[in-house]
Structure 1
Amino acid sequence: MLTFLAALLMATAAPGAPATPPAAPATLPSPERRQQLLFEAARLGRADLIGPLVKAGADIDSRDDRGFTPLILAAYNGQLATVDALIARGADACRPDRDQGNTAQMGVAFKGEDAIAARLLKAGCDVNARNNAGQTALMMAALFNRTKQVEMLLAAGADRAIRDAAGRSASSVAADQGNAPMADRVRR
């Protein structure tokens, strides 16, 4: 496996950069294993492996066994450089997970990853995208008291009036958590 990764990295080295050939000829792992390596690289923050794995045939927008895309995994695990690498290679920053319909933007609201939230907003996704329960990233940011993300989402045009399937707004979600200042902020 290491010879495969070494060969991938050599193939994408800058022109003129010294390259040391791998010890043995590299053979590509199965398509399934290449896909698994992409998920692992995204989760672990191995931005350097994204390009070579995609070039080797890994699907940048596929979903793992739990329904998460590589971009969702990178975002959720706080891997900003890997999020950038995935988006640069054409990953769909707007693609939700398979089961809950949560986007990467929603995931970083849960995790509190402000820098990644800002990067995802630049990707041009619908700021009012809803998951299967009708919740938006603004609702999640308000729920978890992510003040910076609430400000970013509102500045990007997040709609405070949207209600989820249970009839709750971002303000009522925050109020249900006992967070009156946040409830007031997203109500205005």
Structure 2
Amino acid sequence: MAEELDEDTLAFAHRMFDLARGGQTAELATQIDAGLPVNMTNDKGDTLLILAAYHDHPETVGALLARGADVARTNDRGQTALAAAAFRRSVESVTALLAAGADPDHGSPSAAETAAFFDLPEMLALLGGDTPDTR
């Protein structure tokens, strides 16, 4: 049975997710360097990396990657940070995520499928193909 978190701990966790959403890189990096788990997830399975990518904060994405954030993690809907970055048309975040080993065909929908669905040819090209892999 999972242990319940107290109000202060929950408030702290919410603040950390807000830092990722808001692109407050320095404060978030300080917390991770002090022991905050870089792959912490919220109640929807979103990681700090997914939130930073979705809210188009490439500097925060880079800081999280430098601290070992897992590029393959998916949220509860199967979405990855790479798919979020592609959706937001963030060339800098997509490039950083790919360099860190993110797979354009991982997730559901994958980054490649997301780019194809939303007709983002520049993202498809950056992801390495003209069409998503539909294996």
TM-score (norm 1): 0.61
The 2-side partners of 1:161 and 1:30 are apart by 45
For the pair shown, the structure with the greater C-alpha radius of gyration is 1
- The amino acid that maps onto 2:45 is G
Gaps of 5+ in 2: 1-6
Identity %: 33
**Root-mean-square deviation (Å):** 2.2
Partner of 1:162: 134
Q: How many pairs are equivalent?
A: 129
Query: What residue is the counterpart of 1:144 in the other structure?
Result: 118
> How far has the Cα of 1:103 moved from its partner?
0.3
Q: Taking CA–CA contacts closer than 8 Å with sequence separation of 6 or more, which of the two structures ends up with the larger relative contact order?
A: 2
The letter for the 2-side match of 1:96 is: T
Letter aligned with residue 134 of structure 2: I
Indicate the residue corresponding to 2:3 in structure 1: none
State the match for 1:174 in structure 2.
Answer: none
2:14 equivalent to 1:36:
yes
- The whole-number CA distance in structure 2 between the counterparts of 1:112 and 1:91 is 21
SS in 1 for 2:17: helix
C-alpha separation in 2, matches of 1:101 and 1:161: 16
Judge conservation of contact 1:142–1:150 (CA < 8 Å) in 2.
Answer: yes
One-letter amino acid of the structure 2 residue matched with residue 71 of structure 1: L
Q: Please name the residue that 1:109 is paired with.
A: 86
* Structure 1 runs, 4 residues or longer, greater than 6 Å off: none
Deviation at 1:114? 2.3
Q: Could you tell me how far 1:31 is from its partner in structure 2?
A: 4.0
The correspondence of residues 31-110 of structure 1 with structure 2, limited to 5 A, is 31-97=9-75, 99-110=76-87
Deviations 1:13-44 (A, max 9, x none): xxxxxxxxxxxxxxxx9443432222111110
Asked whether the 8 Å contact 2:116–2:132 carries over to 1, the reply is: no
